[in-house]
Amino acid sequence: MQDKLKKLKNIFEKPLDFAVRCFNKIISHVHFLDPRENTKQRVVSALILVPIALYAIFYSKGFFIFLAIAVAIMMSSEWLDMIKNQSDQKKWRIIGFFYILFPIYAVIKIRLYDADILFWMFAVIWATDIFAFFAGKSLGGAKLAPTISPNKTWSGLAGGVVASMLIGFMSSFMFAGGVLFFVFISAFLAVIEQASDLLESKFKRICGVKDSGNIIPGHGGVLDRLDGMMLVAPTVLFLITVFSDKFGG
């Protein structure tokens, strides 16, 4: 029995050691580019949240709708806390209502229409975010909107657009629209994603807060984590409506 356990340990020890070394490599590289104490928290949070999101997207409509409702509630709570010091509460509550309503409605509608489209949308958002971060930190250069988000650069935007075009190329084989259509549309969504990110940053600057919340370790609040989705989701729903034949509708 002990021999069998020893063999099992030997079988799994090397792959596990390799996985740990890869994880530490990723952490050290990200930490080098962005030397903040929460680097490991950010990576671990992403490794936990992404599989949950993928499961909801592909395997359970009910779970996805449940998550969307829970996210809407958390976003609303964060928004109300964020605007608590603003003088015109009615105006900011109305802004927050529609700011949260449209994207949540859009992602639910897209999920019910086609899970593949929703996956493509999030793949574009994630790729844009990740490559904009690495390109911006590595290349630097002129600031994209220094008064709103000092860390964003034009090189970061370019990196995000290039990554989104690659996602568009790979995703085009899932749909009827063809390579050129999805490469162009994905690049367009990358620009929308960065604008969406800047919009949330603008709201936070107006309210005088750094993060919308602290529920996600290393990432801040739910609004911080899903800021790119806020304008992209309604845009994708519009594209599906206008170009339904390109998506196989």
Strand partners, 153: 143
DSSP state of 177: S
Higher pLDDT, 245 or 218: 245
CB atoms within 10 A of CB 230: 24
- Min mean pLDDT across 17-31, 76-90, 181-195, 220-234 is at 17-31
Q: Flag whether pLDDT at 244 surpasses 50.
A: yes
Q: Flag whether pLDDT at 12 surpasses 60.
A: no
- pLDDT band for position 177 (50/70/90)? confident
Supply the mean pLDDT for the chain: 85
In angstroms, rounded to a whole number, what is the distance separating the alpha carbons of residues 234 and 110? Answer: 9
Higher pLDDT, 220 or 176: 176
Q: Are 182 and 172 in contact (CB under 8 A)?
A: yes
Global pTM reads 0.82
In angstroms, rounded to a whole number, what is the distance separating the alpha carbons of residues 44 and 216? Answer: 10
Q: pLDDT digit string (tens) for 120-141?
A: 999 999 999 889 988 888 888 8
Mean pLDDT for 181-198 is 96
Q: Are 136 and 152 in contact (CB under 8 A)?
A: yes
Q: Report pLDDT for 136.
A: 87
Mean pLDDT for 132-156 is 88
Burial of 166 (0-12, 13-18, 19+ CB in 10 A): middle
Residue 198, both tokens: 């800047």
Mean pLDDT for 53-69 is 93
Q: Report pLDDT for 41.
A: 65
- pLDDT band for position 213 (50/70/90)? confident
CB atoms within 10 A of CB 82: 22
Percent of the chain with pLDDT over 90: 60
Nearest to 34 by CA among 199, 222, 219: 219
In angstroms, rounded to a whole number, what is the distance separating the alpha carbons of residues 159 and 130? Answer: 9
Q: Flag whether pLDDT at 218 surpasses 60.
A: no
Mean pLDDT for 199-212 is 92
**Which residues in the chain belong to E strands, given as ranges?**
143-145, 149-153
Q: Flag whether pLDDT at 23 surpasses 50.
A: no
With b for 16 or more beta-carbon neighbours within 10 A and e for fewer, the 99-126 pattern comes to bbeebbebbbbbbebbbbbbbbbbbbbb
- pLDDT band for position 11 (50/70/90)? very low
With b for 16 or more beta-carbon neighbours within 10 A and e for fewer, the 40-68 pattern comes to bebbebbeeeeeeeeebbeeeeeebeebb
Q: pLDDT digit string (tens) for 158-167?
A: 999 999 999 9
Nearest to 231 by CA among 198, 196, 201: 196
Nearest to 121 by CA among 244, 237, 221: 237
Residue 29, both tokens: 């590289």
